Chain A
Amino acid sequence: MFDEKGEKYLDCINNVAHVGHSHPYVIKAATKQMELLNTNSRFLHDNLVQYAQRLTATLPEKLSVCYFVNSGSEANDLALRLARQYHGHQDVITLENAYHGHVTSLIDISPYKFNQLGKDSKKEFVHVAPSPDIYRGKYREDHPDPASAYAEEVKKIIEETQKNGRKIAAFIAESMQSCGGQVIPPVGYFQKVAEYVRAAGGVFIADEVQVGFGRVGKHFWAFQLQGEDFVPDIVTMGKPIGNGHPMSCVVTTREIAESFGASGLEYFNTFGGNPVSCAIGLAVLEVIEKEDLQGNATRVGNYLLELLAEQKEKHPLVGDIRGVGLFVGVDLVKDQQKRTPATAEALHLIYKLKEHQILLSADGPHRNILKFKPPMCFTMEDAKHVVETIDALLTEMEEATGMKTENNASTNAQCKRKVGFEFFFLNSYSDRCLAKQVYITLVEHTFIFGW
């Protein structure tokens, strides 16, 4: 990306520009269709059918009905409506730190958002299951079977809600939690959860809004990492689908779609499925195929993970490296044993990276996880360049704080001060912004890190 001065930045986070910023093939398809016709889906148009056909060809056979909408939020809202209409149940199980969208119904099922509104903001029809995070969660990599353990948590929730006379409409989860901290669920987790949820009359909604379209390399869809035998009931897609064009999609089974249609309520979306959006969607699929972006994601992703793994050996600040394809997370910690999130350090690092013309971001509930989800044309050279820069910056940071010393006392003292800082950070969003500014100023002018 280039700023207003023409300075070049390496983009490691814009997964929305999936096939690359301003890809000429996609732009051409858009313009061509815009010159011909752009109208609503009451006017039958081949693009709609062709696109639905191409899209469903990437999915397991039973996912065969597409609803076209304009944003991930619209898609997830529709997914909820479909789930609820199916058996008339209301309740939804969601994961800790999940984020599914900004519309009212989705804030309700996004702990990442509603937790900020206060401790009583969880609605009674919403149930929060522990995030299947084997690095930082309840059951970790040393547990004999974290997939089953985490799935048991969902089973317990279902039993509890049924005791209270409530009924589960759906379990919804991002196939890999992004805002939650680049979490890769252990294989087998989704299958077990689906078993429990379906037994309770609910459906499994896989939110692929952040991670679909070949990003994980091995497969087209992230839920496929769970295994060939796993098929969700509803899949939502968004963000990368149109390389930045506002469009989105929900795909589901014939049964669920028929049940929804049977309500007598016509689903109509003014902009959804218009010929331009469909032309763009088709062009994106074509580019993914023609340029073997899935293969690239595997190759470059593996290389990136390799390089980062080396950094983990070298730098005590790096607690965990996880990822698949071009979806990678680097969990920064202050202390390898306790895995205390290194929030301020992560923030500092990404600001320094920006000064080095590299765009990266931090997320997770403690904002300490470096998120890699670059456009799919990211290259080996790009990976090398980023990691080399991170290496240099981490070394600088560790030297400044004396983190490499074995002296526990000094580390503890620094931790205390850092805890003080973090408390300041956790106030309201506007306070956080102010704090960020103050912090950056201090760091820039005094070069004292973490005081």
Chain B
Amino acid sequence: KLLCECPPRGIREELSNHSPRSLAVGHCHPDIVKAAHEQNQLLNTNSRYLHDNLVDYAERLSKTLPEKLCIFYFLNSGSEANDLALRLARQYTKHEDVIVLDHAYHGHLTSLIDISPYKFRNLEGQKEWVHVAPVPDTYRGLYREDHEDSVTAYANEVKNIIEQAHKRGRKIAAFFAESLPSVGGQIIPPAGYFQKVAEHVHKAGGVFIADEIQVGFGRVGKHFWAFQLQGEDFVPDIVTMGKPIGNGHPLACVATTKEIAEAFAATGVEYFNTFGGNPVSCAIGLAVLDVIEKEHLQAHATEVGNFLMKLLKEQKIKHPIIGDVRGSGLFIGVDLIKDQAERTPATAEAEHLITRLKEEYILLSTDGPGRNVLKFKPPMCFNKEDAKFVVDTIDKLLTDIEKECLSQEKTSTCST
């Protein structure tokens, strides 16, 4: 219904103005369409038929990762990837329990609903083998920007969980976290957190799984993978990737260490995925890596991301509704609040804002447990003009919202 109401021509103009095809890995990138088309015409079959694309792609991917992450499993969705990561962790450690972050979302499969507080809180509730740690959110979480050492504090929460689990005779298979919790509200964990957590988890015989499904492939600008923001010395045991990996094509991947892969293979149960690693998917994956490199999208993400952050921070000073602006590269969150002291989420205002933005032909969404964080994660060809345009529009709309509030206050309390 909504699609019909918006004049198609208007939207096309917007899209063409704000996602110029010359600057790629954006919608319908021609290099990727071409790679897919060419391979489709040649052969598309399963990985029982050895094909160079599979090896070439695994090799290219491995170059972007620390050396010990050298075994790749190809699948079709982030959910499949995270499920396999769980299986790998459990087989390797012979333990069962999983520690996750609050508000995490790891996928829609049965096994993943079980480890996604974002989902299970509305359903059957928490399973006894799942343990939920506080999100390392230094704006809204337990330990904030004024805490002297939030890294250790948050990591100690995980340590406590491990100790509690051990007291009950339970054993930890994995700590599972999105490198930058997205659904949880565009959270950037403080640097050093993952290292300390990994230390506690490894001591307990568990592994560290970094879910890069939402944030990998250069989005954070400074690095190819978001977990690398934590520091050079941090290497997860398992990394899962999805979403951007094929520019929209159903493709996903799990990277892990030789030891973990060997333990998995030693069960004797063959892992086979019908569509995973097919030549077309691999050709597409390779094309995406090519484009990211050729068009310097990582550096571009840093440049435009920094610019966007700068503009948004100016807005923060201007508009009291903006509580926090956080991000890295083209992964940015704008936390809207009703009051600066309590940081109460401005849920309705955020909802209203994105509805109004769509009327102005800008697509944005909100997330976070309070549905109050504006989520920026545009195609990597997003440019400075786009950034300026969005922020100018947000500025105007926030000003309008504030004016409305003021005029309503004159008559009654502004309840939005």
Interface residues of chain A, those whose CB is within 8 Å of chain B, are 1-2, 14, 16-17, 21-22, 24, 27, 30-31, 34-39, 43-45, 69-74, 77-78, 80-81, 102-105, 107, 113, 116-117, 238-239, 243-247, 263-265, 267-272, 274, 276-277, 428-430
Q: Are A22 and B40 in contact (CB under 8 A)?
A: yes
Residues of B contacting A430 in the complex (Cβ-Cβ under 8 angstroms): 265, 268
Q: Are B109 and A105 in contact (CB under 8 A)?
A: yes
- Given known A-B contacts A31-B36, A244-B44, A269 and B273 have beta carbons under 8 A apart: no
Question: Contacting A246 at CB < 8 Å: which of B79, B123, B250?
Answer: B250
Residues of B contacting A80 in the complex (Cβ-Cβ under 8 angstroms): 110
Q: Residue of B at shortest CB range from A88? A: B124
Residues of B contacting A44 in the complex (Cβ-Cβ under 8 angstroms): 1-3
The answer to whether the Cβ of B267 comes within 8 Å of any Cβ in the partner chain is yes
Residues of A contacting B250 in the complex (Cβ-Cβ under 8 angstroms): 70-71, 245-247, 271, 274, 277
The B interface is mostly helix, strand or loop, or mixed, namely loop
The answer to whether the Cβ of B403 comes within 8 Å of any Cβ in the partner chain is no
Question: Contacting A31 at CB < 8 Å: which of B33, B242, B243, B267?
Answer: B33
24 A-B residue pairings within 8 Å (CB atoms): A1-B43, A22-B42, A22-B43, A30-B40, A36-B28, A38-B28, A70-B77, A70-B275, A71-B80, A74-B77, A74-B79, A74-B109, A103-B84, A107-B87, A116-B269, A246-B281, A264-B123, A265-B113, A269-B108, A270-B78, A271-B77, A276-B249, A429-B265, A430-B265
User: Complex Cα distance A243/B86, Å?
Assistant: 30
Residues of B contacting A269 in the complex (Cβ-Cβ under 8 angstroms): 77, 79, 108
- Minimal beta-carbon separation of A147 from chain B (angstroms): 31
Residue from the set A45, A103, A277 with the largest chain B CB neighbour count within 10 Å: A103
The answer to whether the Cβ of B302 comes within 8 Å of any Cβ in the partner chain is no
The answer to whether the Cβ of B46 comes within 8 Å of any Cβ in the partner chain is yes
Q: Are B27 and A270 in contact (CB under 8 A)?
A: no
Q: Are B268 and A103 in contact (CB under 8 A)?
A: no
Residues of B contacting A263 in the complex (Cβ-Cβ under 8 angstroms): 122-123
- Minimal beta-carbon separation of B163 from chain A (angstroms): 27
* Sample of 16 further A-B pairs with CB below 8 A, known A16-B274, A117-B267: A1-B45, A22-B44, A38-B27, A45-B3, A71-B274, A74-B76, A103-B111, A104-B110, A105-B110, A107-B87, A116-B268, A238-B274, A244-B44, A246-B249, A246-B278, A246-B281
Q: Are A265 and B269 in contact (CB under 8 A)?
A: no
Q: Are A264 and B275 in contact (CB under 8 A)?
A: no
Q: Are A105 and B111 in contact (CB under 8 A)?
A: yes
Q: Are A37 and B27 in contact (CB under 8 A)?
A: yes
The answer to whether the Cβ of B258 comes within 8 Å of any Cβ in the partner chain is no
Residues of A contacting B270 in the complex (Cβ-Cβ under 8 angstroms): 429
Question: Contacting A104 at CB < 8 Å: which of B75, B86, B248?
Answer: B86
Interface residues of chain B, those whose CB is within 8 Å of chain A, are 1-3, 27-28, 30, 32-33, 36-37, 40-46, 49, 75-80, 83-84, 86-87, 108-111, 113, 119, 122-123, 242-243, 247-251, 265-276, 278, 280-281
- Given known A-B contacts A37-B28, A39-B27, A428 and B45 have beta carbons under 8 A apart: no
Question: Contacting A270 at CB < 8 Å: which of B1, B77, B113?
Answer: B77
Q: Are A117 and B269 in contact (CB under 8 A)?
A: yes
Residues of B contacting A71 in the complex (Cβ-Cβ under 8 angstroms): 75-77, 80, 250, 273-275
- Minimal beta-carbon separation of B287 from chain A (angstroms): 12
Q: Are A268 and B108 in contact (CB under 8 A)?
A: yes
User: Complex Cα distance A39/B19, Å?
Assistant: 14
- Minimal beta-carbon separation of B277 from chain A (angstroms): 10
User: Complex Cα distance A127/B268, Å?
Assistant: 23
User: Complex Cα distance A265/B111, Å?
Assistant: 15
- Minimal beta-carbon separation of B208 from chain A (angstroms): 19
- Minimal beta-carbon separation of B54 from chain A (angstroms): 13
Question: Contacting B274 at CB < 8 Å: which of A37, A77, A239?
Answer: A239
Q: Are B274 and A113 in contact (CB under 8 A)?
A: no
- Minimal beta-carbon separation of A395 from chain B (angstroms): 29
Residues of A contacting B251 in the complex (Cβ-Cβ under 8 angstroms): 246
Q: Are B268 and A270 in contact (CB under 8 A)?
A: no
Q: Are B110 and A274 in contact (CB under 8 A)?
A: no
Q: Are A38 and B40 in contact (CB under 8 A)?
A: no
